[in-house]
A and B are shown apart, each in its own frame.
Chain A
Amino acid sequence: MRQDIALSVKNLHKDFLLPHDRNNSIKELVLHFNKPTYEKMHALKDINFEVKRGEFFGIVGRNGSGKSTLLKLIGGIYQPTKGSIEVSGTLTPFIELGIGFNPELTGRENVYLNGAILGLTRKQVKAKYKEIVAFAEIPKFMDQKLKNYSSGMQVRLAFSIAIQSHNDILLIDEVLAVGDAAFQRKCYNTFKEIKKSGRTVIFVTHDMGAIQDFCDRALMIEDSEVMMIGQPREVALRYEVSNAKAEANRAGSSARPENPVVKLNSMRFNGGAKNSRNVSLKDTIAIDVDFTVREATAVQVNLFLVTPDGRYLAGINTTKDLKKYTPEPGKHTITCELPASQFAKGSYQVNAALYTYSELNSIEMPELIDILDTTYGANTPQFKIMEDGPNTSGEFNMRGAWSNE
């Protein structure tokens, strides 16, 4: 394994044998000796990825997609059916907070027990005890039984212990589901510190905000397979699209029909066939977005720019100028004009996302319906801002006026 790789997963498969009726007794084993009464479930199929040393790596996926199985395999709790997992360095072996917490023991006793489970010696826990209690913000309750704690307090205590285990690689699964806003902020700050300290973190979550805030790269897993590995923004968008689709399927025909009520068709430069352009500072870039509406509904189109390597830069949505835009059924084209002078030099990819909002979801939290993004092979416009001439130089087109008075 290369020096800069912390974790390397190759060709990883995991099957579970799901017995129709568990062979938990000898009688059953004898009776069903020749009859395999189980079915094979492929929890993971051919997973390949590498995590670099010091990387904050996100794993996303819907429930049942296999992400927790993947984490358990990395953590050494499950054995791979096929393939290999190589870990360089020590790995914090927990995938959940507060493992072994016992409601009948006091907070103090639980700290020592949980610490030991995470691989800390009693001495180490003792040395860190004050820090743990201070971080959890519950010094008064340490000699109370854990069953008298609120769930938020329990999570805080668990988190405070977990961050004390000083291993090279940390596996974190859905830790921020509980806890108040203030403590969540604190956790996030801790994550930032962990990130700064150069430790490798593998982070499984449903929170796309957190993925985009912390992760250097992310992996999306769907139906037991790696759907994509890439920039957190792309992964987050793709995850949301997949979620929106699943939700549409789940809700049935009445709430959300199979075919979405609105759909993005294509996008291009206004009045041009070519999908890539060089533009100079004086130009105005006009982008047409085509979409189809089946039923009149309030929509919001969001145009966003990404760098050629997929980093999200900025976005602008229709609510700014069109307010609660409710187009009639049929095909529509809307145009967005972008003055080129605002952009720094370089290449830009223009993508679009389509949202709807009903009474249920407010204008601040519209629901993502469709997306046109190069990551999924959509052909979207690309433009390059040209040099302004020989008199300016540098990263952006500098503007200014000289005078000799």
Chain B
Amino acid sequence: MINGLKRVFSPSNRSLIRELVISDFKLRYQGSVLGYLWSLLRPLFLFGVLYVVFTHVIRLGDDIPHYPAYLLLGLVLWQFFTESTMAGMNAITGRGDLVRKVSIPKYTIVLSTTVSAFVTFCLNMIVVFVFIFFTHVAIRPEMLLAIPLIGELIILCLGVSFLLAALFVRFRDFGHIWEVILQVLFYATPIIYSFSIVPPTLAKIMSLNPLVQIFQDIRSVMITPAALTTKQVFDSQLGRILPALSVIVILALGAYYFHRRSKYFAEEL
């Protein structure tokens, strides 16, 4: 296990992932005047619109203290999930030139898309912190607990990315399927609405989705303990442990399937 991780993050693999991420960013913002600023401006404008809609037009979060920061954090987390899984799905097919001509470890390509999305996520988090600061959310030491939870989210994104990347090489349908699933997940996860308005039975079913556990736990440590967590829904630590376990299972499954298929990517592309 340790040796396996050592191999995955060997110096040459790390360099490769780094260069792939750097070139990805450079290409994304090349030719635009504001360049990297867009990675901050884009979410800022998007959140601005949603903020106006959900705090002044559709008032969904009246029962939650610091609802704007709560909403913003949820959206940032959600954006990380969609961005990394979409990019992960396209990782292998989009880098056909590498896969067909060079024998690099294929997982580095998927890892690089997740890292890319994570860098964007970190930039977005700066915006979140600015919001937190200006809306007088209490700064608490518990906020640090968000770090392992974000780690859990990364593992989930990686697992889904591996699975989708390998499936997408064989079946291009997954491009559409995943878009639909993302739409469903967006509403099945309490992102724009408060989790406490969901009826208890439905809340239990929804809590099986690890995204719900991750999002609500991060919000409860970072924004307000009023955020309903899956632990509270089940009234037991199991409400937290089970989704966390399912994340590990998803990664194991994704990595296994990816590993098994990766030998044939060069021929199937």
Chain A residues within 8 Å of B, Cβ to Cβ: 16, 24-27, 29, 72, 75-79, 93-96, 99-100, 102, 104-105, 109, 112-113, 115-123, 125
Q: Is B16 located at the chain interface by the 8 A CB criterion?
A: yes
A96 to B98: give the CA distance in the assembly, Å.
Answer: 10
Please pick, from A77, A102, A120, the residue contacting B103 in the complex, using a CB distance under 8 A: A77
Which residues of chain A come closer than 8 Å to B16, judged between CB atoms?
A: 116-117, 119
Do B171 and A99 have beta carbons less than 8 Å apart? no
Do A25 and B173 have beta carbons less than 8 Å apart? yes
Give, as a whole number of angstroms, the nearest-CB distance from B155 to chain A: 25
Which residues of chain A come closer than 8 Å to B199, judged between CB atoms?
A: none
Shortest 6 CB-CB contacts between residues of A and residues of B: A116-B19, A76-B103, A93-B103, A121-B15, A116-B16, A116-B15
Q: Is B236 located at the chain interface by the 8 A CB criterion?
A: no
Give, as a whole number of angstroms, the nearest-CB distance from A119 to chain B: 5
The segment out of B23-31, B73-81, B241-249 that lies at the interface is B23-31
With A99-B97, A121-B15 as given contacts, are A105 and B103 in contact (CB-CB < 8 Å)? no
A222 to B45: give the CA distance in the assembly, Å.
Answer: 62
Q: Is B4 located at the chain interface by the 8 A CB criterion?
A: no
Please pick, from A27, A72, A104, the residue contacting B27 in the complex, using a CB distance under 8 A: A104
Which partner residue on chain A sits nearest B23 by CB separation? A113
A336 to B264: give the CA distance in the assembly, Å.
Answer: 58
Q: Is B172 located at the chain interface by the 8 A CB criterion?
A: yes
Please pick, from A25, A27, A77, A119, the residue contacting B101 in the complex, using a CB distance under 8 A: A77
Do B101 and A105 have beta carbons less than 8 Å apart? no
Q: Is B7 located at the chain interface by the 8 A CB criterion?
A: no
Do A78 and B15 have beta carbons less than 8 Å apart? no
Which residues of chain A come closer than 8 Å to B27, judged between CB atoms?
A: 102, 104-105
Q: Is B142 located at the chain interface by the 8 A CB criterion?
A: no
Which residues of chain B come closer than 8 Å to A123, judged between CB atoms?
A: 11, 15
Do B173 and A26 have beta carbons less than 8 Å apart? yes
Please pick, from B23, B172, B264, the residue contacting A105 in the complex, using a CB distance under 8 A: B23
Which partner residue on chain A sits nearest B30 by CB separation? A104
Q: Is B102 located at the chain interface by the 8 A CB criterion?
A: yes
With A26-B173, A78-B267, A116-B18 as given contacts, are A96 and B103 in contact (CB-CB < 8 Å)? no
A29 to B173: give the CA distance in the assembly, Å.
Answer: 11
Do B12 and A120 have beta carbons less than 8 Å apart? yes
Q: Is B233 located at the chain interface by the 8 A CB criterion?
A: no
Which residues of chain B come closer than 8 Å to A25, judged between CB atoms?
A: 171-173
Do A113 and B171 have beta carbons less than 8 Å apart? no
Give, as a whole number of angstroms, the nearest-CB distance from A216 to chain B: 25
12 A-B residue pairs with CB within 8 Å: A25-B173, A26-B171, A95-B102, A99-B101, A105-B27, A109-B22, A112-B19, A113-B23, A116-B19, A118-B102, A119-B12, A120-B15
Give, as a whole number of angstroms, the nearest-CB distance from A116 to chain B: 4
Which residues of chain A come closer than 8 Å to B20, judged between CB atoms?
A: 113, 116
Do A122 and B18 have beta carbons less than 8 Å apart? yes
Which residues of chain A come closer than 8 Å to B170, judged between CB atoms?
A: 24
A115 to B104: give the CA distance in the assembly, Å.
Answer: 12
With A76-B103, A79-B263 as given contacts, are A121 and B12 in contact (CB-CB < 8 Å)? yes
Please pick, from B26, B30, B104, B266, the residue contacting A78 in the complex, using a CB distance under 8 A: B266
Which partner residue on chain B sits nearest A119 by CB separation? B12
Give, as a whole number of angstroms, the nearest-CB distance from B102 to chain A: 5
Which partner residue on chain A sits nearest B167 by CB separation? A26
Which partner residue on chain A sits nearest B266 by CB separation? A77
Other 17 A-B pairs with CB < 8 A, given A113-B20, A113-B22, A119-B104: A24-B172, A78-B266, A93-B102, A94-B102, A95-B102, A96-B101, A99-B98, A100-B102, A105-B26, A109-B22, A109-B26, A116-B18, A117-B19, A117-B104, A119-B16, A121-B14, A122-B19
